[in-house]
Structure 1
Amino acid sequence: MNDQPYLIPIASTEFEEEIKKSVFITHLAHTPSVEMAKNFIEQVKSQHASARHNCWGFVAGRPEDSLLWGFSDDGEPSGTAGKPILAQLSGSGVGELTAVVTRYSGGIKLGTGGLVKAYGGGVQQALKQLQTIEKKITTQVQLELDYALMPLVQSVMAQFQASQIEANFGSHILLVVEVDIRECAVFTQALINKSSARVRISELQ
């Protein structure tokens, strides 16, 4: 598993331009799975049902994971829309991203080179205005501790920017904590050292 963080979109964005009387509208959205990517594509298609083409491409996971890529020319000549869209997405370094380019045709033929430039160029422009955030790869650990150790554990969690997912307060405290996978070993060692091994730790995933 690749434990390096990668960029994902914060919000959707659109870019519109007119080329030889054809209007191209590029829609970009955050889609963390193939299913969400396909849902977004259908949403844009229904929103622009009167458009001649709604061509698309998606990178539904890590930017370099080609098993989660997809694209479609949606009636445009083969290779002139879906592939240029996907090429821009996969080269952007941003993951979990879908692009749908809606074309309202103006009746003037653009030719294959013109179409490649229009579809790829629209996505390139939309990517320039896309806001992103770094997605860290995390793992979860379960901590079992006495109530007296809670302040110490919270202090170590703050140091490693770990977040509490679940808490169960019985005779002991049971915490499920999420931490950056790259720092998990150091985080657990810090807990063991500072609590003199009185915090019991087990990995969940």
Structure 2
Amino acid sequence: MSYQTLKRAVTARLEIKKSDFIAYAYPVHSREQAMFHVEQLREKYADARHYCWAYIIGDPDNTTSAGFDDDGEPSGTAGRPILNVLQHKSIGNVIIIVVRYFGGIKLGAGGLTRAYAGSAQAAVDQMILSPYVAMSRVQILAEFATEAQCRYVVESLNGRIDEVAYSKQVTLTVTLAEADIETLKERLAMDGRVLKET
């Protein structure tokens, strides 16, 4: 599973035949998060004519969740072209929303399709992308004497320690790349520590 994700939100603006197209791209991890951004822009640009969008949650080549909306534009002229740009560029966990202010000149179906695809591309051109890394949360049970060694192993794998609980043993809840879980198990197994995924 190799694809790119957006590091931070970006915006781009195009003017086509007096219509303003304002494209926003946000990193998202759920449909609810994506729809939150749509509603925010509806409030921010309350006088705009259309709020067309497309999102992809997960891998754009084998997505578990994708969606788009033409928001009153002719069917297939807005949301689908935005989605196509995201799929073509292999960008996942992202939504692009294009806010349109109508300038009085009709663009026709072909013109609209090019305008929305162009707006999405303009947003993509502003993006700083990074490779997606699947993360997992695990718990490590350790003796007090080996806690420092556990911390060292987690940090050496670029993991993050989220929580530490002390009782008869130490329980470290950590987040790290899924690909590194087997390595973590191997490094911790030598000292008899138990690992379980949460």
Structure-1 residue corresponding to 2:96? 99
Structure 2: 5+ residue stretches without partners: none
Secondary structure at 2:92's aligned position in 1? coil
Letter of the 1:13 counterpart = V
Letter of the 1:23 counterpart = D
Following superposition, the deviation at residue 65 of structure 1 comes to 4.2
> 8 Å contact 1:37–1:60 — kept in the other structure?
no
CA distance in 1, matches of 2:2, 2:153: 22
Structure-1 residue corresponding to 2:114? 117
CA displacement 1:104-135 (0-9 Å, x = unmatched): 11111211111111100111111011123333
Q: 2:195 aligns with which of 175, 183, 202?
A: 202
CA distance in 1, matches of 2:25, 2:41: 10
> 8 Å contact 2:23–2:99 — kept in the other structure?
yes
Secondary structure at 2:42's aligned position in 1? helix
> 8 Å contact 2:18–2:104 — kept in the other structure?
yes
Structure-1 residue corresponding to 2:79? 82
CA displacement 1:130-164 (0-9 Å, x = unmatched): 12333321223322222221222222222212221
Following superposition, the deviation at residue 91 of structure 1 comes to 2.0
> 8 Å contact 1:14–1:28 — kept in the other structure?
yes
CA distance in 2, matches of 1:5, 1:109: 40
Letter of the 2:145 counterpart = A
- Count of aligned pairs between the two proteins: 198
Structure 1: 5+ residue stretches without partners: none
Letter of the 1:156 counterpart = V
For 1:157-196, list aligned pairs within 5 A: 157-193=154-190, 195=191
CA displacement 1:12-51 (0-9 Å, x = unmatched): 1111111111111111112210011111111112221211
CA distance in 1, matches of 2:43, 2:152: 50
TM-score (norm 1): 0.88
CA distance in 1, matches of 2:149, 2:9: 41
The RMSD of aligned alpha carbons is 1.7
Secondary structure at 1:36's aligned position in 2? helix
TM-score (norm 2): 0.91
CA distance in 2, matches of 1:160, 1:41: 37
Q: 1:18 aligns with which of 12, 15, 18?
A: 15
Question: Comparing 59-68 with 39-48, which one deviates more in the overlay?
Answer: 59-68
Identity %: 32
Secondary structure at 1:77's aligned position in 2? coil
CA distance in 1, matches of 2:63, 2:136: 23
Secondary structure at 1:120's aligned position in 2? helix
Q: 2:34 aligns with which of 29, 34, 37?
A: 37
